[in-house]
Amino acid sequence: MNVDDYKITEKDMAGKGVSPQPNPMELPEAEAKAVFDQLVKEVVVPFFNKFVEAFANVDLTSDADKPISTATQEALDKKVDKAYKTGSQSEYKVLSDNNFDDKSKENLALATRDRHTHDNKSFLDKFTQDFIDNILFKDNEEPYEPSGPYNPATQKYVDDKVVAIGAADMTKAVYDPENKATDIFAYADKAALLYDAGADQWYKFEIRNGGLWVVPVEAPAGAAKAAQEKTAKDGEA
């Protein structure tokens, strides 16, 4: 409804009524009356009727009695509810169960994602979903093969790799089952020595010309004590 369409202007009254007539009182009675009635009949009445007809389409229902539109009701369903604390505590706002649609929730999550307030904020800020999906937890039961030299590896992966390359043949379980933790070369040299108590001479085995030879050697360190212990043990036997 355009208000300007219902305003009476100077243009609408131009040439009408008593003022434009040189001497309306000298006119015949019927013509004089027409002159005096002209503004009302030809200007005021048409504009007034036009306004009344337009105004008839205006809803005069009071606000209290007007129904709520579907759009308004949907907006109200998403409103933020108010709650009140008891006693002297002041009013505060809480969220209802339906404050956001899915898109609004997503936008809110993005806006607040990095706003940690805990002590380990800087650590947690580095996490992404891709990072979490690639964490190798200590209770992992899924196959995992490292792709880089410093990637973590599961125990089964390491065990299988050791067996695959044959390194398992050099394990402690094979060469030191009694846990002696002794230099294998020094242990072998000592174990291959023979002692002749009568001659007080030590000998060792050597392979020469395809045969096994017994060759005299100097007494090794600690040999005297070992010889005495061996002689004593042989005497007891």
Q: What is the pLDDT of residues 30-50, one digit of tens each?
A: 887 787 888 788 888 888 888
User: CA nearest 199: which of 211, 217, 213, 222?
Assistant: 217
Centroid of chain to Cα 1: 53
Confidence of residue 57 (pLDDT cuts 50, 70, 90): confident
pTM for this predicted structure: 0.25
More confident residue, 10 or 81: 10
Q: Are 193 and 203 in contact (CB under 8 A)?
A: yes
pLDDT digits (tens, 9 = 90+) for 88-112: 555 554 545 555 667 777 777 776 6
Q: What percent of the chain has pLDDT over 70?
A: 74
For residue 70, pLDDT over 70 is answered with yes
In one-letter notation, the amino acid at residue 120 is: N
The Cα 152–Cα 135 span in angstroms is: 10
Q: What's the whole-number mean pLDDT along residues 212-234?
A: 70
Strand 211-217 to 193-196 pairing: unpaired
CA 160, 166, 171, 177 torsion-angle sign: positive
Q: Taking all residues of the chain, what is their mean pLDDT, rounded to a whole number?
A: 75
Can you give the residue ranges of every domain in the chain? 3-55, 184-236
What is the predicted pLDDT for the residue at 85?
Answer: 52
Q: Which residues pair with 207 in a beta bridge?
A: 212
